[in-house]
Structure 1
Amino acid sequence: MTRYAADHARNALVARWSTGIGDVAVTVAALPPSPAGPSAALRLAAQLTELSQACWRCYTHPAGTSDQHEPGGRGWYRQRERDAFATVVPILTRSDRFGDHLRLSVSTKVGEIAQRVGCALRALDSPELTAQVVTDIAAELAAVEQAECDNLSGRAQQAVTLSREDASPLQVAQANAFLNRQPFGSEELITQIDPAAAAIAAAHWLHAAAATTGRHVHRNPVQVMAEGDRLRPLAAECLIEIVRAISFGATPRQTVMPLIRHTLHVAEGHLCGVTDAKRRIAAAERLLARARSRHPHLDVGPGAACLPITSLDPARPALDLLDNLMAGIHGCWLRYAGHARTQNAFSWHDPNGDWRHERHAELFLTEVRQEAATRHQHLL
Structure 2
Amino acid sequence: MTTYAHDPAASTLLACWPTGDGAVAARVARVPRGLDPVRARRAAKALTTLSAHLWAAYAERAVHEIGALQLPEAVRHPNQPVGDLLRVMEDGCAETAHLLGRIVADAPGRAFREAVVAEVRTEIGAVLDADDGVLRGRCAQAVAHLRRDAPAEQVRLAHSLLHDDPLGPPAIVTDVEPAAAAVALLGWLRASATVVSARVGHAVPDVVALAEAIGHEDLPVVRHALCGPGGVADDELVTDLLEEAALARLGWFVLCPQRSGPAAGPEGHRAFSTVLDPLDPASCLLDGLVRGLHGCFRVWLDDVAGGSGLPAAALRERYAEQVRREIRAGR
Distance of aligned partners of 1:308 and 1:82 in 2 relative to their CA distance in 1, 3 Å threshold = farther
CA–CA distance in structure 1, aligned partners of residues 110 and 13 of structure 2: 15
Aligned length: 324
Match of 1:322 in 2: 286
In structure 2, the gaps of 5 or more residues are none
Counterpart pick for 1:370 among 299, 314, 325: 325
CA–CA distance in structure 2, aligned partners of residues 100 and 111 of structure 1: 22
CA–CA distance in structure 2, aligned partners of residues 262 and 99 of structure 1: 48
Match of 1:311 in 2: 275
Amino acid at match of 2:88: S
Match of 1:275 in 2: 256
Match of 1:72 in 2: none
* Higher normalized helix content (fraction of residues): 1
| Pairing 1:58–2:57 present | yes
Counterpart pick for 1:163 among 132, 142, 146: 146
Query: Does the CA contact (< 8 Å) of 1:6 and 1:13 recur in 2?
Result: yes
Normalised to the residue count of structure 2, the TM-score between the two structures is: 0.86
Query: Does the CA contact (< 8 Å) of 1:160 and 1:195 recur in 2?
Result: yes
| Pairing 1:117–2:100 present | yes
Deviates more, 1:204-213 or 1:81-90: 81-90
1:1-380 correspondence to structure 2 within 5 Å: 1-34=1-34, 37-62=36-61, 79=62, 83-86=65-68, 87-94=70-77, 97-98=80-81, 102-124=85-107, 126-229=109-212, 230=215, 233=218, 235-236=219-220, 238-244=221-227, 248-267=230-249, 269=250, 271=252, 273-275=254-256, 283=263, 309-341=273-305, 345=306, 347=307, 353=309, 355=310, 357-376=312-331
Distance of aligned partners of 1:100 and 1:177 in 2 relative to their CA distance in 1, 3 Å threshold = farther
Partner SS state of residue 193, structure 1:
coil
Using the TM superposition, give the Cα deviation of residue 324 of structure 1 relative to its aligned residue in structure 2, in angstroms: 0.4
CA–CA distance in structure 2, aligned partners of residues 120 and 320 of structure 1: 38
* 1:17-72 Cα deviation digits (max 9, x unpaired): 1232333222211111346x31110111011111111211112233xxxxxxxxxx
Distance of aligned partners of 1:186 and 1:131 in 2 relative to their CA distance in 1, 3 Å threshold = same
Distance of aligned partners of 1:358 and 1:187 in 2 relative to their CA distance in 1, 3 Å threshold = closer
Query: Does the CA contact (< 8 Å) of 2:78 and 2:102 recur in 1?
Result: no
**Identity over aligned residues, as a percent?**
28
CA RMSD, 1 decimal:
2.9
Partner SS state of residue 152, structure 1:
coil
CA–CA distance in structure 1, aligned partners of residues 231 and 82 of structure 2: 57
Query: Does the CA contact (< 8 Å) of 2:17 and 2:23 recur in 1?
Result: yes
Amino acid at match of 1:8: P
